[in-house]
Structure 1
């Protein structure tokens, strides 16, 4: 797996997401069609584990989080950027999702949760905000951001 192969894998998913409202019904659809155990979920999880191991994914580190923007928002990804983080039992920096965020939670420790969600998909609508938090273990989390839009808030 390399970045171009990963881009194709993501493109096969994002083609069905372009123009869809980012809401609970999208999360339900993603979990039903592409949830844990599905070919899409397993292929993305495998690609992320391999990318981290090979060093081209999550190649930055700060505050105990390994992270990186793997793909910029582009036509190939139907306007979504792709970031991946590697977190274990901690909260990340607070940020706002101006256009929403679609997250794929991939526990490396059985039972690890992201913002209280188990393995699978969660969707945050436009204007939502959070401290991304992994509890109960270690997980990779893939973020799809429409047009790459994210706003980190200043530390208090």
Structure 2
């Protein structure tokens, strides 16, 4: 697995998002078309673990969080950027999502939750904000950001 193959896996997800609003209803749609117990979800999870081990994902560290932008927004991922973070029992830096945020929670520890949600998808609509928080263990979280838009704040 390398970054190009990873991008191909992500494109299989972002292709399904074309023309859809990034809002809470998208969570149920993603649960249906890319279920957390399905093959594509597992392939992306496996690829994330390989990427972390090989150093092309989560290559930066600060405040107990390993993170990195793996893919800039562009045509290959239908305008979405891809960031991956690794967190353990931690509240991350506050940020806003001008165009929304699609999160794929991949628990490393089975009980780990991202913003209160277990393994699977969580979607924040445009103009939302939060402190990304992992509880009950360690998790990898993949962020799909429309147009790569994210605003870190001082809250």
Given the alignment of the two structures, is residue 13 of structure 1 paired with residue 13 of structure 2, yes or no?
Answer: yes
Q: Does the residue aligned with 1:16 lie in a helix, a strand or coil?
A: helix
Given the alignment of the two structures, is residue 58 of structure 1 paired with residue 58 of structure 2, yes or no?
Answer: yes
Matched with 1:96 is: 96
Given the alignment of the two structures, is residue 80 of structure 1 paired with residue 80 of structure 2, yes or no?
Answer: yes
Q: Contact conserved, 1:103 with 1:123, CA < 8 A, in 2?
A: yes
- List runs of 5+ in structure 2 lacking aligned partners: none
Q: Does the residue aligned with 1:22 lie in a helix, a strand or coil?
A: coil
Distance in 2 (CA, whole Å) between partners of 1:73 and 1:22 is: 16
Q: Does the residue aligned with 2:17 lie in a helix, a strand or coil?
A: coil
Matched with 1:118 is: 118
Q: Which moved more, 1:10-19 or 1:95-104?
A: 10-19
Q: Contact conserved, 1:18 with 1:79, CA < 8 A, in 2?
A: no
Q: Does the residue aligned with 1:5 lie in a helix, a strand or coil?
A: helix
Q: Aligned-pair distance for 1:18?
A: 2.1
Q: How many pairs does the alignment contain?
A: 155
Offset from partner CA, 1:62-110 (integer Å, 9 cap, x none): 0000000000000000000000000000010000000000000000001
Matched with 1:35 is: 35
Q: What TM-score, normalized by structure 1, do the two folds share?
A: 0.97
Q: Aligned-pair distance for 1:128?
A: 0.4
Structure 1 consecutive aligned stretches of length 4 or more whose deviation exceeds 3 Å: none
Q: Aligned-pair distance for 1:24?
A: 2.1
Q: Does the residue aligned with 1:144 lie in a helix, a strand or coil?
A: strand
- List runs of 5+ in structure 1 lacking aligned partners: none
